[in-house]
């Protein structure tokens, strides 16, 4: 991770094929295309790789979440349970639809704690958004059981976890709808882009209309298409899809490289007394984009981060203090601070549900360091990095 580390001739060739037609938009201009439809090709390839019949590309992972929720009927006043550790896009998508994100504790998987989720379900709950942060998953079996019991949507935000699996199913395909991001720092990238996958034809039909101003995409005359639903513009371009198509063909290679690098570092670190590892649920296979470790205390985690940085090793994240990824820095969400003023009732509900402490989540995140696994390391770089990590962690824990 990320896929841009291994850009090459395939990406350039794919983009050039689009430029040669002069058609950069995914819809219309059929005679000019010369049979080149990169978005359609990428959707078909994703459908095959994710073992899911319906795929729709959009402009970003944030767009994928927004379109997925809207297409599943989530809207004004509905509550969506989501984890305290995610990316801000998760709650931005919910709020954009007039629904209310409800922050929920995580467990040692660094994803939703099923018991905490169960305690938050009420008559206003419409969806559970499970976020597979840093390449690994929650206890999806338990969360699906909760969703089925209460007739809730189970949405998988797999934006950081493409290529992982659970009980033999690709992440994103286990719930009702799954979402991916293909931004510049993801395992595969379009530059900017995203996708949703689903087994529901109804969700798919609404998604491709909602993401393109409500167009039904029937017939061959775009100007004559009907608009069965209100919609917005979340379209991907053919240029971005062209890059993603070349990248997706490399996904298995990327995962293989990440697994090798991840495993070598993990083997070295597991011999250090006091180091623990993120729990991967039984039946789960990470995509190996991050190696997440736990130190015995928050103080030691902070000290370890400094010690590692002093060795020159980069790509080590302490999410506990991060602006984008952890609840402690989300005052704009918790207090309803928005450039576009929020309705008073909505703002009050946001504060009531979310402006609180999450000690169970803090217990895990305060002790966590997340180590980025890169694709481009050569053998010497990987060995040097591992030795420096071991040295720094032993020094802190001795």
Q: Report how far residue 50's alpha carbon sits from residue 155's, in angstroms, rounded to the nearest whole number.
A: 15
Q: How many CA atoms lie within 13 A of 302 on its CB side?
A: 7
Using CA of residue 241, residue 242, residue 243, residue 245, what is the dihedral sign?
Answer: positive
Task: Give the CATH class of 3-251.
Answer: alpha beta
**CA-closest candidate to residue 333, choices 317, 366, 356:** 356
- Judge whether residue 191 has pLDDT over 90: yes
Q: What pLDDT does residue 201 have?
A: 98
Contact 218, 27 (CB under 8 A): no
pLDDT at 220 over 90: no
pLDDT band at 125 (very low <50, low <70, confident <90, very high): very high
- Copy the structure tokens of residue 186: 């993801």
pLDDT of 339 reads 94
Residue 86, pLDDT above cutoff 90: yes
Determine whether 395 is exposed, middle or buried from the number of CB atoms within 10 Å of its CB (0-12, 13-18, 19+). middle
pLDDT higher than 90, residue 310: yes
Tokens of 3: 């896929």
| Contact present, 41 and 288 (Cβ < 8 Å) | no
C-alpha–C-alpha distance, residues 74 and 77, integer Å? 9
* 3-state secondary structure at position 37: coil
CATH class, domain 252-397, is: alpha beta
Confidence grade of residue 178 (pLDDT, cut at 50, 70, 90):
very high
Per-residue pLDDT band at 193 (split at 50, 70, 90): very high
C-alpha triplet 241, 62, 363: angle, nearest 5° = 130
Q: Which of 135, 147, 137 is nearest to 111 (CA)?
A: 137
Q: How far apart are CA 218 and CA 225, in angstroms?
A: 6
Q: How far is CA 116 from CA 9, 20, 71, 91, 392, in A?
A: 48, 53, 26, 18, 35
Judge if pTM exceeds 0.95.
Answer: yes
3-state secondary structure of 387: helix
Q: How confident is the model at residue 328 (pLDDT cuts 50, 70, 90)?
A: very high
Which pairing describes strands 125-131 and 290-294: parallel, antiparallel, or unpaired? unpaired
- Average model confidence (pLDDT) across the chain: 97
Report the distance separating Cα 228 and Cα 219, nearest Å: 14
CB atoms within 10 A of CB 129: 28
CB 81 within 8 A of CB 127: yes
pLDDT at 1 over 90: no
Placement of tokens 């190996």 in the chain: 288
Handedness of CA 25, 30, 32, 35 (dihedral sign): positive
C-alpha of 249 from chain center: 20
Angle at 372 between CA 93 and CA 117, to 5 degrees: 40
Token digits of residue 33: 């295309």
Neighbouring-strand partners of residue 195? 57, 180
């Amino acid at each position: 991770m990320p896929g841009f580390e291994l850009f090459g001739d395939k990406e350039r060739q794919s983009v050039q094929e689009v430029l040669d037609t002069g058609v950069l938009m995914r819809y219309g201009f059929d005679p000019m295309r010369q049979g080149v439809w990169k978005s359609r090709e990428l959707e078909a390839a994703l459908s095959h790789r994710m073992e899911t019949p319906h795929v729709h590309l959009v402009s970003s992972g944030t767009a994928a979440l927004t379109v997925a929720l809207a297409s599943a009927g989530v809207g004004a006043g509905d509550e969506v349970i989501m984890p305290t550790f995610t990316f801000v896009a998760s709650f931005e998508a919910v709020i954009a639809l007039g629904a209310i994100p409800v922050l929920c504790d995580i467990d040692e998987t660094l994803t939703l704690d099923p018991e905490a989720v169960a305690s938050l379900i009420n008559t206003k709950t419409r969806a559970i958004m499970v976020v597979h942060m840093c390449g690994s998953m929650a206890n999806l079996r338990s969360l699906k059981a909760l969703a089925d019991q209460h007739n809730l949507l189970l949405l998988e935000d797999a934006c950081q976890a493409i290529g992982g699996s659970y009980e033999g199913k690709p992440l994103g395909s286990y719930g009702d709808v799954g979402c991916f991001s293909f931004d510049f720092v993801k395992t595969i990238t379009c530059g900017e882009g995203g996708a949703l996958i689903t087994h529901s034809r109804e969700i798919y039909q609404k998604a491709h209309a909602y993401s393109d101003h409500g167009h039904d995409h029937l017939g061959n005359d775009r100007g004559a298409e009907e608009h069965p639903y209100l919609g917005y513009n979340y379209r991907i371009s053919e240029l971005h899809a062209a890059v993603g198509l070349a990248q997706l063909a490399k996904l298995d290679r990327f995962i293989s490289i990440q697994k090798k690098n991840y495993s070598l570092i993990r083997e070295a670190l597991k011999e250090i007394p006091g180091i623990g590892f993120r729990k991967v649920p039984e039946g789960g296979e990470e995509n190996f984009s991050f190696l997440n470790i736990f130190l015995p205390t928050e103080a030691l985690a902070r000290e370890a981060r400094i010690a590692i940085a002093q060795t020159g090793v980069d790509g080590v994240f302490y999410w506990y203090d991060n602006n984008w990824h952890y609840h402690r820095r989300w005052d704009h969400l918790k207090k309803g601070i928005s450039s576009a003023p929020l309705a008073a009732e909505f703002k009050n509900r946001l504060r009531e549900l979310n402006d609180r402490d999450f000690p169970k989540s803090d217990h895990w995140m305060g002790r966590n360091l997340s180590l980025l696994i890169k694709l481009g390391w050569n053998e010497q770089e990987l060995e040097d990095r591992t030795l420096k990590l071991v040295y720094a962690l032993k020094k802190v824990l001795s």
